[in-house]
């Protein structure tokens, strides 16, 4: 069974990002977070959409 929601700690590892960056994305409305009791969860589809929306790096001539 595929995971449908991730804790903040799991999301940080999966997205390879920092806690401040993650919470800024949530506060800005770029990444949706849901609550289940006291836990904050990120749904897998929302994480995928957020990561896909990040800017693409342009190749540089080396």
- Tally the domains of the chain: 1
Q: Is the pLDDT of residue 1 over 60?
A: no
In a domain, 60, yes or no: no
Predicted structure pTM score? 0.84
Which pLDDT score is estimated for 62?
66
Using one digit for the tens of pLDDT, what is the confidence trace for 20-61?
999 999 999 999 999 999 999 999 999 999 999 999 988 888
Cβ neighbourhood burial of 60 (10 Å; 0-12, 13-18, 19+) = exposed
- By three-state DSSP, how is residue 47 classified? helix
In a domain, 12, yes or no: yes
Which region among 3-7, 13-17, 41-45, 56-60 has the lowest average model confidence (pLDDT)? Answer: 56-60
Domain residues for the domain of 29 are: 5-53
In a domain, 58, yes or no: no
DSSP annotation of 61 reads -
Which pLDDT score is estimated for 38?
96
- Residue 57 region, left (φ>0) first, then alpha (ψ -120 to 50), else beta? beta
How many Å apart are CA 42 and CA 30, to the nearest integer? 12
């Amino acid at each position: 069974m595929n995971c449908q929601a991730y804790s903040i700690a799991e999301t940080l590892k999966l997205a390879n990002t920092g806690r401040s960056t993650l919470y800024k994305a949530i506060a800005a409305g770029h990444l949706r977070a849901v609550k289940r009791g006291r836990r904050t969860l990120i749904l897998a589809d929302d994480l995928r959409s957020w990561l896909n929306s990040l800017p693409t790096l342009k190749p540089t001539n080396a």
